[in-house]
Amino acid sequence: MAAPHSPPHSIGDDAALRAAKIVAREEAQARRARAEAAGTGPALAAHVLRDAPPPAGAVVAGFWPMGHEIDIRPLMRALEGRGHRLCLPRTPKRGLPLDFRAFAFGDPMSKGPFGTLQPGEDSPALVPDWLIVPLLAFDRAGRRLGYGGGYYDRTLAALPDAGTLGVAFACQEMDSVPCGPHDAPLDAVATETGVVRFRGSAG
């Protein structure tokens, strides 16, 4: 799906890149707010489990969905049932990568920045092998538009061997996502309609 006036995918000028991302984020947020959420979480989970599951024994990093984000909890529950250890991010100070802590359904959660829920600071630290990554928009080149904090870009740069699976509603796909040299590409994106692979396999 094309966004009106889709920005170019690679922009050298920092100011132009920031401006293009602002426009793209506004469009992506509007699309996501209009998405029909009923049944999409289980549908996404079924596609991932069939077409792009994590490797056996992988430590899987998820996130606790908020606002209009697609619900990945059915997927996380299924992966927990398959024996995967789960972790969730704790949001650090700006400029640092995410801090992943062990998580199991039923664990107590604490409030984090930006309205997130996250494991308590006493939860054990884990290093994920495979990450489920939130996003605002994606394109068929594997480019991801995030929320602007750079947390996942820094995190993925620090975990170059980890598998990455973006998750979104299908309506969040754009013809071209504006990106810079520090924007980390994804291996695949899963939506309620299926899995799109970009760099080999997400599993």
In this structure, is residue 83 part of a structural domain?
yes
Is pLDDT at 3 greater than 90 in this prediction?
Answer: no
- Residue at 4 is within a domain: no
Residue 14 DSSP code: H
Kindly indicate the confidence band of residue 11, based on its pLDDT and cuts at 50, 70 and 90.
very low
Q: Within a domain: residue 126?
A: yes
**Lowest mean pLDDT, pick from 101-110, 130-139, 141-150, 155-164:** 141-150
Output phi, psi for 172, to 5 deg: -85, 0
Q: How many domains does the chain have?
A: 1
pLDDT computed for residue 180 by the predictor? 85
Whether the predicted pLDDT of 135 surpasses 80 = yes
For the chain, give the mean pLDDT. 90
Separation between Cα atoms, residue 107 and residue 148, nearest integer Å: 29
CATH of the domain at 191: 3.40.50.10420
**Residue 1: inside a domain:** no
Q: Note whether residue 5 is domain-resident.
A: no
User: Exposed (0-12), middle (13-18) or buried (19+): which is 167, by Cβ within 10 Å?
Assistant: buried
Does residue 111 carry a pLDDT above 60? yes
In this structure, the dihedral spanned by the alpha carbons of residues 129, 65, 77 and 106, taken in order and rounded to 10 degrees, is 110
User: Residue 203 falls within a domain, yes or no?
Assistant: no
Assigned domain for 134 exists: yes
Strand 60-61 and strand 86-90: the pairing is: parallel
Full domain range(s) for residue 37: 14-197
Q: HSE-up of 33 (CA within 13 Å, CB side)? A: 6
Confirm whether 38 is domain-assigned: yes
